[in-house]
Amino acid sequence: MPAPRTYEIVVLPGDGVGPEVTAAAQAVLSVIGDFFEHKFRFREHLIGGAAIDATGDPLPPETVTACLAADAVLLGAVGGPKWDGGARRPEEGLLGLRKAMGLFANLRPLQVSPVLAHRSPLKREIVEGVDLIVFRELTGGIYFGEKTRTADRATDLCVYTVPEIERIARAAFRTAQLRRGKVTSVDKANVMETSRLWREVVTRIHAEEFPRVELEHALVDSMAMHLIRKPREYDVILTENMFGDILSDEISVLGGSIGLLPSASLGEAGSPGLFEPIHGSAPDIAGQDKANPVGTILSAALMLRHSLGLEEEAASIEAAVAAVLSAGAVTPDLGGTLGTRAAANAVIDGLRAIHWAAAHRIQMHWA
């Protein structure tokens, strides 16, 4: 029998609840490694506010070096009011890391569990059955454009190039081919030149390379409304950096808690990806064992699938999470009483049940 494969995982706990939720995900990954005979070697490094406190730099060079050499990177969260008004912002670390790693595609999937649909602020009939994924371009746009500031004037330049749009469009269309075959491209082409270019390029890539995928265009302001009125109509949502940031946070509440949603930031094939929950650092509950670890655990599942090619292992984690949520074993943000560690342990117990059932060829039926 060949020796177990060892995967090098850089862990960036970051700020606030980041250390707690990444610890939960590492515990789950360790169990997966035991079941499937893999080894995960975790190496922690600094980013964000914690890095500013320790080094004065939100992204120390050694962190970048370690991330580029890893098989994948797992991130907790960055930021918090502690660093407001400082010379450096924690968020600089995350933006800089995305750029350094060449991560141009941010994937944010959302599936609304039937057992949690009642937790949504919207009616059950609107959100139940929602299954969509946002493809957000990650290294261009207004977040990375030239910035100026004087006493009475500030500017942020929004820039996109044809190659930047082409590569994120192709990624979205390829995923749509594996799902329900529909892409909704979101822009502001009635006002912005970058959006007009975006629409032209997406339309061309569709016609030349993916004609069997359904394509529709939507303006970002109307899309914000449609995602609340009829979210079940959408499959793959493709959009630029700032619009994707805003819309993906909007849809996070459809499932009842922002703590449930994972994300994957990917670059070219073969390069390490960055995986993180979409929630923030939640400094008000940091260190209190109250944070929901599910978004980070599901981010670890995305890491197994997209960076390590371990589909069965990823599906096992997702099945265990679904079982735990169905059983009502949830944290306070979902109306439960479990702490962060207890919620992670519940997922681990679910994994053990799934593994035992698979070993004995028993079909599991969850309540």
Residues with catalytic annotation? 143, 188, 221, 245, 249
Residues near 22 by beta carbon (within 8 Å), at least 6 away in sequence: 11, 12, 13, 14, 74, 75, 76, 296
CB-CB contact of 346 with 331 (8 Å): no
CB-CB contact of 73 with 10 (8 Å): yes
Give the position of tokens 């937790």.
119
CA angle 278, 280, 286 (to 5 degrees): 130
Give the position of tokens 């009475």.
152
Find how far residue 229's CA is from the centre of its chain.
23
CB-CB contact of 110 with 254 (8 Å): yes
Strand segments (E) across the chain: 5-14, 38-44, 72-77, 105-111, 131-137, 147-149, 154-156, 182-187, 214-219, 236-239, 262-266, 273-277
CB-CB contact of 12 with 73 (8 Å): yes
- Taking the C-alpha atoms of residue 367 and residue 364, their distance in angstroms, rounded to an integer, is 10
One-character DSSP codes across 226-270: HHHH-GGG-SEEEE-HHHHHHHHHHHHGGGT-GGG-EEEEE-STT
SS3 for 362? coil
One-character DSSP codes across 162-205: HHHHHHHHHHHHHHHHHTTSEEEEEE-TTT-HHHHHHHHHHHHH
- Taking the C-alpha atoms of residue 49 and residue 52, their distance in angstroms, rounded to an integer, is 5
